């Protein structure tokens, strides 16, 4: 947007806070408060626009949804904004009713599933939901992934279903369910999100067996799986005993725990080449941080991750009292952590569901200033 010099001069006389001083002030305002700031004047709108084009101000948020086991409709949402270093408590209704367990298979999609209904959301703050008829096969713990215009639902079938590897896709462009080639037979005993890690690109869904390293991919356009007849082993180091995957921007990242559950030695990161599946080690969690993740009083059986843009968040999903993250800055890994100050003893009975997305001004405007949701901000404890 272009403004004439006379307009800017007139605004500067009316609002003495302008130029470098205004830019400096705006740079310290948490992202969630920039929407009302953009309405102050044209000059402020320009300053806000300039600020949010700085990559350091729009780092992806980690969003934690805590669902009560006694009342599924009771959900408290908390978001961490790393660029402003604040926790944001989000309340208020969305466009769906949480009548069943809320779930997520990968970093940015939420879903609800009953025998007759399937609801899913993939926008950053999950303000928009689509409600459709449920898939043909009844499932209790499926892999669910949004890939382009398709929603893939695989495995996780109810114990009395005939095919535990059944795959269906829902086409949002031409609404309706269709049956696809089943999952690779080698995944028969692990065809559920309990055992599989999921990563999604613009065109494919990738699955990794967390314990064995068995790896394959699915293309919803062709409805075909790769790796059948010789599933790839994605273990670049034989010392890996547990691993998960996620997309950080356009990079497929493998996060692995080294050693064994009773004596975890380290946590390392690899970048996976999606053409030949070769792995290049790109980072290792600092020792002191790893000890806090490990929790010396118990075994480190597993971890979970959420990834987006140039961030990978790592945590213990059953008790996320501290969140660890790695930011990829050029060729370097910059590590950090934040305490979840909202977690209380009462919350420890809740189910925690994680998503991760880049959040923009339009997302905030839609959720809080044009919608009826509310927020409360608290600066994070390091």
Show the tokens assigned to 324: 């660890």
pLDDT for residue 5 is more than 80? no
Show the tokens assigned to 263: 């004596």
| Coil vs helix vs strand at 157 | strand
Tell me which of 358 and 40 has the higher pLDDT. Answer: 358
pLDDT band, residue 349 (cuts 50/70/90): confident
pLDDT for residue 45 is more than 50? yes
pLDDT band, residue 345 (cuts 50/70/90): low
- Please name which of 181, 182, 191 lies closest in space to residue 212, comparing C-alpha atoms: 191
Hey, what domains does the chain have and what are their CATH numbers? 17-57 (no CATH), 58-379 (2.120.10.80)
pLDDT of residue 307: 95
pLDDT of residue 3: 42
Show the tokens assigned to 345: 């003893």
**Rounded CA gap, 13 and 8, in Å?**
9
Q: Mean pLDDT score of the chain, rounded to an integer?
A: 86
pLDDT of residue 227: 60
Query: Could you tell me if 262 and 270 are in contact, meaning their C-beta atoms sit under 8 angstroms apart?
Result: no
Query: Could you tell me if 316 and 366 are in contact, meaning their C-beta atoms sit under 8 angstroms apart?
Result: no
pLDDT of residue 87: 93
pLDDT of residue 346: 56
Q: What is the pLDDT of residues 262-277, one digit of tens each?
A: 889 999 999 999 888 8
- Mean pLDDT calculated for residue range 351-366: 91
Q: What is the pLDDT of residues 226-264, one digit of tens each?
A: 865 557 899 999 999 999 999 998 999 999 999 998 889
CA atoms lying within 13 Å on the CB side of residue 12: 14
pLDDT band, residue 328 (cuts 50/70/90): very high
Q: How far is CA 93 from CA 75, 90, 241, 299, in A?
A: 10, 10, 41, 39
pLDDT band, residue 160 (cuts 50/70/90): low
| Range with the poorest average pLDDT among 186-195, 235-244, 279-288, 297-306 | 297-306
Residue 297: CB atoms within 10 Å: 5
pLDDT band, residue 19 (cuts 50/70/90): low
pLDDT for residue 2 is more than 70? no
**Rounded CA gap, 205 and 58, in Å?**
26
pLDDT of residue 332: 87
- Mean pLDDT calculated for residue range 30-34: 88
Tell me which of 279 and 163 has the higher pLDDT. Answer: 279
Query: Could you tell me if 62 and 312 are in contact, meaning their C-beta atoms sit under 8 angstroms apart?
Result: no
| Range with the poorest average pLDDT among 88-97, 188-197, 349-358 | 88-97
pLDDT of residue 4: 42
- Mean pLDDT calculated for residue range 328-346: 82
pTM of the entire predicted model = 0.90
């Amino acid at each position: 947007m272009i403004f004439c010099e006379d307009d800017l001069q007139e605004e500067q006389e009316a609002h003495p806070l302008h130029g470098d001083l205004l830019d400096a002030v705006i740079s310290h305002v948490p992202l969630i408060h920039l929407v009302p700031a953009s309405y102050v004047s044209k000059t402020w709108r320009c300053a806000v626009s300039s600020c949010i084009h700085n990559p350091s101000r729009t780092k992806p948020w980690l969003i934690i949804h805590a669902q009560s086991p006694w009342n599924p409709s009771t959900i408290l949402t908390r978001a961490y904004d790393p660029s402003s270093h604040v926790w944001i408590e989000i309340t208020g209704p969305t466009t769906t009713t949480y009548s069943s367990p809320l779930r997520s298979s990968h970093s940015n999609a939420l879903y609800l599933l009953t025998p007759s209904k399937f609801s899913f959301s993939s926008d950053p703050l999950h303000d928009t939901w689509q409600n459709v008829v449920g898939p043909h096969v009844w499932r209790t713990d499926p892999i669910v992934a949004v890939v382009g215009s398709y929603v893939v639902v695989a495995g996780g079938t109810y114990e009395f279903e005939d095919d535990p590897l059944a795959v269906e896709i829902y086409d949002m462009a031409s609404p309706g369910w269709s049956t696809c080639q089943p999952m690779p037979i080698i995944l028969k005993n692990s065809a559920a999100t309990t055992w599989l890690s999921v990563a999604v690109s613009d065109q494919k869904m990738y699955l990794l067996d967390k314990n064995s390293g068995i790896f394959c991919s699915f293309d919803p356009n062709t409805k075909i799986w790769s790796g059948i007849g010789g599933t790839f082993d994605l273990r670049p180091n034989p010392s890996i005993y547990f691993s998960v995957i996620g997309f950080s921007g356009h990079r497929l990242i493998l996060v692995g725990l080294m050693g064994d559950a009773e004596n975890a030695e380290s946590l390392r990161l690899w970048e996976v080449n999606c053409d030949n599946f070769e792995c290049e080690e790109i980072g290792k969690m600092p020792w002191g941080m790893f000890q806090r993740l490990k929790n010396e009083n118990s075994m480190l059986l597993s971890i979970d991750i959420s990834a987006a843009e140039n961030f990978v968040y790592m945590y213990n999903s059953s008790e996320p009292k501290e969140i660890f993250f790695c930011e990829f800055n050029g060729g370097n890994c910059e590590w950090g952590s934040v305490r979840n100050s909202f977690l209380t003893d009462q919350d420890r009975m809740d189910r925690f569901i994680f998503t991760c997305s880049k959040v923009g001004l339009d997302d905030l405007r839609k959720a809080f200033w044009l919608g009826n949701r509310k927020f409360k901000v608290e600066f994070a404890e390091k």
